[in-house]
Amino acid sequence: MDHYSVEQLCVNAIRTLTMDAVQRANSGHPGMPMGMADAAFVLWAHFLKHDPLHPSWPNRDRLILSAGHGSMLLYALLHLSGVLTLEELKQFRQWGSRTPGHPEYGVTPGVETTTGPLGQGFANGVGMAIAERWLAEHFNQPGFPVVDHYTYAIVSDGDLMEGISHEAASLAGHLGLGKLIYLYDANRISIDGPTDLTFTEDVASRFRAYGWQVLEVDGHDREAVAQAITTAQADREHPSLIICHTHIAFGSPNKQDTAAAHGAPLGEEEVRRTKENLGWPVTPPFYVPETVYAYFRERAHTWKAARTTWEELFKAYTKTHPELAAQLHAAWTGQLPAGWEEVLPTFTPGTMMATRSASGNVLNAIAARLPTLIGGSADLSGSNKTYLSAYSPLQRHDFQGRNIHFGVREHAMGAILNGMALHGGVRPYGGTFLVFSDYMRPAIRMAALMALPVIFVFTHDSIFVGEDGPTHQPVEHLLALRAIPNLVVIRPADAIETAAAWRVALHRRTGPTALVLTRQKVPVIDHHALKSPVAVMRGAYILAREPGNHPDLILIASGSEVALALAAWKRLIADGVQARVVSMPSWELFAEQPPAYQAEVLPSTVRARVAIEAGLSLGWERYVGPEGTVISVERFGASAPYQVMAEKFGFTVDNVLTHAYRVLQATHAPAVKIPG
C-alpha cells in the first residue's frame, strides 16, 4: 500500500472513530472532526513537535483545539497515538471518563487547555505564544535554544465570531507573534445554519489588517495544507492564519455541508452510508486497521526523538549555564525563590494609603526576586498600579521587559493570562477596574475551572470610586466573583493586609486569586502583635477584641470598611459594649479553615452581628445569621466625592452604631445598656 493510501486510511479512521463515538454516546459534534480530519492529521503527524506518550515536556509545540465541540478530533488522534484506549473512546461524554464532551485540561493527557466556550482557546494560544517568546529571549543562549516551539490552534467560524478573538488577534498582530499558527476550519456552517445568515465579513482581509499572514487552502488537500504550514513557519514576523476551506461531515451522503451534522449524531443509517461512501467496513464499530496503528507507532519514533534530543540539549545547557537552568527549572515547576518574602515592604500604622498603591509597592519590591513575574493592565497600569517601574514594556521587536500593555481588551487579557499560565515558566498577573471584571468573567471562570495560578488585580473596588459615577462603581461584582468556584477573592483592609494578600496569591498554585483594592486612601491599621500574613491566609481574624473576652456583638467587615468598623468599635467599647471586630478579607479562605478556628472567630453564641461592606448584602447572611444585619449597597451608585457617597449610603460611624444597638436589642444581649 502506498504512502498516500496509508495516510488516507489514517484520516478516515479519525472520521469513523468520531462517528461511532458520537453515535454511541447519542450526543456530540461529528461534523467538525470529519471535516478537519485531513488538515489536523497533517499537522499532528508531520509538523507537531510533541511526544503524545510524554505530553508535558516543556519545549513541545502546543496544539489547542479552540473549537472544543470537535473534541473527538483530538481524542481520535490521541487514541491512534497510544494515549487513549478504545474503551475510553467508547466512554465519550460519560461520567468520569477521560473523553469528556469538550476537552478538559488536567483530565485528558495531551489536552493543553479546556475549550468549549468559543474564542477562549484562540486567546489562550496568544498567551502561550507570548510566554514562549518571552522565555526564549530571557533563557536561550548561543547554541542552546532551550525554549523554541510553535503554538498551533484549530479554530472555527464560531471562534472568529466571538468578540474575544478580535481582541486577541489584534494584540497578537501588534506584537508580531510569528510562531503562532492557526488553522481555521472554514466550513461555512454553524448551529443555526449557513454562516452567511450572520457572518459575511472578509475574514482574510480582517486578519491581514490585524497584521497576520493569511494563507488559503483546500482543507482536504493534504499537500496544500502541508505547504501552507511550512510557509507559516517561515514567517517569524507575523502570526499566521491558514484558512482551510472544508466540508463539515465530509463523506456523509446526506449530511455533509448541513447544520444537521454540527451538534447531533448522524444516525445509525447515515453512519452506515458514510462508511460505505468512505470505503470503510460498516462493522464492527470503532474499527481501525492495523496498518493505521502501525503508521502511528512509526511516527512515535520521530516524536520521541524530538523530546530526547531536547532533553540532551537541556542537560548540556545545565552544565554550561547552571544558574539560568536552575532558574528555568524552578519557573517550570512553579517554585518561588527562597527568601523572596524578605523584600515585602512594611507600612507605618496611622498613615494613609490606597490599597491599590500598596499593591503597586509590593509588586515593585518583589519584582527583582521573582524574575518570571510578568503582567500588566488593560490600559490602566497607572490606575491599577500594576507597572513594574524597573522594566520596559513588551514590544514587537523587544521582549526583554516584563510589562504587557494589553490595551482596552479585558476579555482577551484574562484568557491570555490563562494561556501564559498554561504554557508554564511564567507567573502572570493582570489588572483592570473591578467593574470591568464583567468583561473578563468567562476567562476568570476558565482559570478557576482549570485551577490556574493566575492573579487578577481589580482596583476601584466600590462606590467610593466617587465622581466617576455608577457606570464605574461596582456594586454586585464582589458577590459575582465570590460565586465562581475555586476563585479566591481577597479584599484587604489596608496596606499591611495587601502585602499579605500578595503573599497568599503567589503561594497559591491550585487556582486563581482576585485581589480587590481601593482607589481611595485608607488608614494603615495598627495590627499590634497579630501576624497579619497568617491572619489573612485564614480569610478572617479577630482584629479588635472585646475587653472581657466574651463578646456581645461582632462587627465584620472587609476592605475599606474595616477602618469604619474599628472607629465604631471604639465608640461601642466606650459605651461599655463587649464588642469585637473581625476583618474578613476572604470568604473562600475562611471557609477552608477548621471548624474550631471558625468558631473562635465567630462564636455561635453571639447572635448580635453586623457586617459592613460597600456591595450587595447577598451572601453575608451566612456570617451574620438570622438576627444580624448588613450595612450594604443595594442599588447603583451616584456621581459625587467619595466622602459624600459614604454619608449618603450610610457608611458612617453613627449608622453603624444605630445598626449595632438595634441587633443588640433584638437579640437581648446580656448586660448591654442601650444608649437613649
Amino acid, single-letter form, for residue 118: L
Answer whether residue 232 shows pLDDT above 50: yes
Helices (H) and strands (E) in the chain, counts: 25, 20
Are 590 and 598 in contact by the 8 Å Cβ rule? The answer is yes
What is the model's pLDDT at position 676?
A: 55
Cα-based distances in Å from 53 to 98, 107, 581: 15, 15, 55
Q: Beta strands 579-583 and 541-544: pairing type? A: antiparallel
pTM, rounded to two decimals: 0.98
Are 593 and 539 in contact by the 8 Å Cβ rule? The answer is yes
- The CA distance from 127 to 133, in Å, is 10
Separation of CA 303 from chain center: 29
- The CA distance from 103 to 69, in Å, is 8
* 182 and 46 assigned to the same domain: yes
* Mean pLDDT of all residues in 464-477: 97
* 375 and 421 assigned to the same domain: yes
**C-alpha dihedral, 189 to 113 to 175 to 377, nearest 10°:** 110
Query: H or E element: which one contains 568?
Result: helix 561-574
Are 402 and 391 in contact by the 8 Å Cβ rule? The answer is yes
- Catalytically active residues, by annotation: 410
Which pLDDT tens digit goes with each residue over 94-133? Answer: 999 999 999 999 999 999 999 999 999 999 999 999 999 9
Answer whether residue 580 shows pLDDT above 60: yes
Cell numbers found for residue 318? 545545565
Query: Is 533 a member of any domain?
Result: no
Which pLDDT tens digit goes with each residue over 145-188? Answer: 999 999 999 999 999 999 999 999 999 999 999 999 999 999 99
* Mean pLDDT of all residues in 457-486: 98
Peptide bond into 284 cis (omega under 30): yes
* 404 and 511 assigned to the same domain: yes
Query: H or E element: which one contains 508?
Result: none
* Mean pLDDT of all residues in 596-617: 98
- The CA distance from 378 to 405, in Å, is 7
* 557 and 453 assigned to the same domain: no
Are 189 and 258 in contact by the 8 Å Cβ rule? The answer is yes
* 515 and 593 assigned to the same domain: no
* Mean pLDDT of all residues in 198-218: 98
Query: Is 650 a member of any domain?
Result: yes
Mean pLDDT over the full length of the chain: 97
* 134 and 282 assigned to the same domain: yes
Place of cell 536552575: 326
Phi and psi (nearest 5°) for 571?
-65, -40
Q: Which residues contact 213 (CB under 8 A, 6 or more apart)?
A: 231, 232, 235, 238, 239, 240, 241
On the CB side of 420, CA atoms within 13 Å amount to 29
Per DSSP, the residues of 393-455 read BPBTTB--S-EEE--S-HHHHHHHHHHHHHH-S-EEEEEEEGGGHHHHHHHHHHHHHTT---E
Confidence tier at 669 by pLDDT (50, 70, 90): low
| Residue spans of alpha helices (H) in 115-244 | 120-139, 157-161, 163-175, 203-210, 222-234
Distance from the first to the final alpha carbon of the chain: 99
* 193 and 50 assigned to the same domain: yes
- The CA distance from 166 to 161, in Å, is 8
| Residue spans of alpha helices (H) in 98-162 | 120-139, 157-161
* Mean pLDDT of all residues in 47-56: 97
Are 496 and 347 in contact by the 8 Å Cβ rule? The answer is yes
Domain final residue pick, 496, 523, 550:
523
CATH classification of the domain holding 638: 3.40.50.920
* 480 and 553 assigned to the same domain: no
* 346 and 257 assigned to the same domain: no
Cell numbers found for residue 640? 459625587
* Mean pLDDT of all residues in 237-255: 98
- The CA distance from 8 to 583, in Å, is 65
- The CA distance from 301 to 51, in Å, is 9
DSSP state of 428: E
Query: Is 457 a member of any domain?
Result: yes
Q: Which residues contact 676 (CB under 8 A, 6 or more apart)?
A: none
Query: Is 335 a member of any domain?
Result: no
- The CA distance from 151 to 125, in Å, is 6
* 156 and 213 assigned to the same domain: yes
For 630-648, give the secondary structure using H, E and C: EECCCCCCCCCCHHHHHHH
State the residue range of the domain holding 482.
340-523
Query: Is 435 a member of any domain?
Result: yes
Cell numbers found for residue 336? 518561588
- The CA distance from 12 to 275, in Å, is 9
Are 176 and 211 in contact by the 8 Å Cβ rule? The answer is yes
* 554 and 658 assigned to the same domain: yes
DSSP state of 332: H
Q: How buried is residue 508: exposed, middle or buried, by Cβ count under 10 Å (0-12/13-18/19+)?
A: middle
CATH classification of the domain holding 190: 3.40.50.970
* Mean pLDDT of all residues in 604-629: 97
- The CA distance from 310 to 552, in Å, is 66
Confidence tier at 307 by pLDDT (50, 70, 90): very high
Cell numbers found for residue 257? 455541508
Query: Is 637 a member of any domain?
Result: yes
User: pLDDT over 70 for what percent of the chain?
Assistant: 97
3-state secondary structure of 457: strand
Q: Burial code of 394-433, b = ≥16 C-beta within 10 A, e = fewer? A: beeeebebbbbbbbebbbbbbbbbbbbbbbbbbbbbbbbb
Cell numbers found for residue 430? 493582570
* 396 and 287 assigned to the same domain: no
Q: How many domains does the chain have?
A: 3
Cell numbers found for residue 627? 438576627
- The CA distance from 613 to 559, in Å, is 8
* Mean pLDDT of all residues in 459-484: 98
Domain final residue pick, 523, 551, 580:
523
Phi and psi (nearest 5°) for 521?
-70, 145
Answer whether residue 322 shows pLDDT above 60: yes
Q: How many residues does the chain have?
A: 676
Cell numbers found for residue 341? 518574602
Answer whether residue 529 shows pLDDT above 50: no
Secondary-structure breakdown of the chain: helix, strand, coil percentages, each rounded to the nearest 5: 45, 15, 40
Single out the residue of 520, 503, 539, 517 nearest to residue 437, CA to CA: 517
Are 656 and 610 in contact by the 8 Å Cβ rule? The answer is yes
- The CA distance from 514 to 505, in Å, is 8
3-state secondary structure of 413: helix
- The CA distance from 606 to 124, in Å, is 48
- The CA distance from 435 to 480, in Å, is 11
- The CA distance from 33 to 4, in Å, is 20
Phi and psi (nearest 5°) for 352?
-115, 135
**C-alpha dihedral, 39 to 44 to 45 to 51, nearest 10°:** 180
DSSP state of 338: T
Query: Is 328 a member of any domain?
Result: no
Query: Is 531 a member of any domain?
Result: no
- The CA distance from 415 to 444, in Å, is 8
Domain final residue pick, 465, 500, 523:
523
- The CA distance from 479 to 163, in Å, is 25
Are 111 and 48 in contact by the 8 Å Cβ rule? The answer is no
- The CA distance from 401 to 398, in Å, is 7
